[in-house]
A and B are shown apart, each in its own frame.
Chain A
Amino acid sequence: MIFAQLFANGLIAGAIYSLVALGFSLIYSTCNFIDFAHGVTVAVGAYLLYFFFSLLGLNFWLSVILTIIFTGLFGLLLNIVVFKELRRRKASNLILLTASFALLIIFESLILILFGADVKTIGYIQVSRGLDILGAIITPLQIIIIIVSFLLLVIFFFFMKKSKIGKAMRAVSDNKDVAEIVGISAERIYNWSFFIGSAVAGIGGILVGLDQNLVPTMGTGLMIKGFAAAIIGGIGSPIGAVLGSYLLGFGENFGIWYLPSGYKDAIAFVILFIFLLLRPQGILGKKK
């Protein structure tokens, strides 16, 4: 059945977008600028796994753990080397955004130079026959993607609600000045946001990398979708980011019922544009 298949595809897309959206939303709400480098972080995740597992031949699970840690460190490094330096010079959020755009281009190009422009596959999970669930064909890996994404969201919410760092992050995003008065170092929270947000993006990169092929520009499209999802859901609300991601995933996949599949990217943007026009604060966002 087409409906069931499109529904399943929407679910998978939503699961992947939500990982990108979550990291983006976290960085945006604490650091208060749109971090375009988040897109290349996803690609860095996928290529690191390719590097550790396919090129170095390390054990798969070790490769996954190394990838997550190194992707987190990659984000942290960008924050310390570039963004912190810019903030110290009192750069506006538009400058931080421009810098992050430059970083996106730099690292996408570097990946291309190091690994080549050709398509790479990680090939850990052999292309297996998909399972037939209610008429939709889903590969086991795709089921894993949905489960991992869901689990990660649950962990993320608990982390933000219960952990000391999570609470401090929410305090900084609510009001940075007040947070600093009660002794929270904003710079430290920025570091944590970048580390955690990038690690989550890295997990997204791993899952996408296992499910699909690797190309250097793979992150940019995902990033646009993830950002759009976060805005549609309501910036600063992690639940909103997840909601927006699934809305976008379903919207795209049911949209190609009517349109050629190449227009998928366009559908996401049209949904975003409609929201910016009619409800710029997003589904769950509060009107200022």
Chain B
Amino acid sequence: MFLAYLISILILAAIGIILAVSLQLTVGFTGLLNLGHLAFYAIGAYTSALLALAGYPFWFCILTAGVLAMFFGFLISLPINKIKKDYLALATMGFSFVVYAVLLNWTDLTNGPLGLAGIPRPQLFGFDFSQNSNFLLLVAIIALASYLIIKLITISPFGRVLESIRDNELAAKILGKNTFKMKMCAMGASAFFAGVAGSLYAYYITYLDPSSADIMQLIPFLAIVIIGGLGSLEGTVVAAIVLTFLPEPLRFIGFPSSIIGAARQVIYALFLLLILIFKPKGFYGKVKLE
């Protein structure tokens, strides 16, 4: 009983790690305040769910989910060069709203607010992942792979250019870097992994509705990125695990379920706010926020 509960939280933590480290790539490493991360996640989740329901194999669904999310990541970064940094936050947040509206209203495709039910658990090379314990293994492997790829990006000279854009974009341009292309790549790569995370979530939860794209749900991941420390992937992983477990005791205190969700948001957001004020480098970050 407790083990099953633990496994279900660990699965969510692993999916959270993928989402958070990919968000870190844009926010922490490139300095792009991307508030549309959950839109990419939802695009991935729905793409994957629809394909899986149509009978396509797991590897195809998860890759298509990532690629389609990446495509939207590229699309959303088209005006990135002309707008001020804080407008990007607004544009990406607006994008999140649009995706939510489309998921809710394109009923022929998404089944609207009723959502998509009966998403099959994946099968791969003859393995069946319908057991949560097996599924945890699959998610953990993909989370590890995502982490390593993003780590590889950030420690490579490519990541160094991303960081230079975060620190001083004009100086990076003056050294000859095509910062527009770089920012687009960062957004695309970040969206790809968000799409992958969405795909895994759809497979895990087996039932999907538009609330996965709700902008409110972004706050835990934004909190993880800032609390873990901008520019620190290790900190992000630790924060993702801690913050997934942190509000769990609320479940046992006996709050009505409608309040638990809101209370959880308050805890995350309050934690984020206190970190911003009192420990702006986060717990593991090296990067100053100024």
Contacts and interface: CB of A to CB of B under 8 A. Distances in A.
Do A and B interact with each other, yes or no? yes
A280 B272 CA distance: 31
Given A109-B265, A224-B97, A276 B82 contact: yes
B273 A102 contact: yes
A102 B276 contact: yes
A89 B94 contact: no
A257 interface: no
Contacts of A221: 97
Contact of A260 (B95, B105, B266, B270): B105
B219 interface: yes
A228 B83 CA distance: 13
Nearest to B102: A266
Interface in A241-288: 260, 262-266, 268-270, 272-273, 276-277, 280
Contact of B94 (A92, A102, A224): A224
A101 B222 contact: yes
A48 interface: no
Interface string A60-102: 0000000000000000000000100110011111110111011
A269 B289 CA distance: 29
B89 interface: yes
Given A95-B276, A102-B276, A103-B269, A227 B90 contact: yes
Interface string B87-126: 1011101110110111011000000000000000000000
B263 A109 contact: yes
A110 B93 CA distance: 21
Contacts of B269: 102-103, 105-106, 109
Contacts of B141: none
A117 interface: yes
A273 B91 contact: yes
B93 A89 contact: no
B285 interface: no
Given A103-B269, A262-B104, A277-B79, A272 B94 contact: yes
B259 interface: yes
A110 B266 contact: yes
A95 B280 contact: yes
Of the four ranges (under 10, 10 to 19, 20 to 34, 35 or more), the interface on chain B belongs to 35 or more
B78 interface: yes
Interface in B273-290: 273, 276-277, 280, 289-290
A117 B258 contact: yes
Most chain B CB within 10 A, of A86, A220, A265, is at A265
B215 interface: yes
Most chain A CB within 10 A, of B31, B86, B222, is at B86
A155 interface: no
Given A117-B258, A265-B98, A265-B101, A97 B33 contact: yes
A277 B33 contact: no
Contacts of B33: 94, 97-98
A83 B276 CA distance: 11
A106 B266 contact: yes
A98 B91 contact: no
A231 B290 contact: no
Contacts of B65: none
Given A224-B94, A277-B78, A113 B276 contact: no
B89 A97 contact: yes
A7 interface: no
Given A98-B272, A113-B266, 15 more contacts: A33-B86, A36-B93, A86-B276, A89-B280, A91-B276, A92-B289, A99-B276, A99-B277, A109-B216, A109-B265, A117-B258, A228-B94, A260-B105, A266-B98, A269-B94
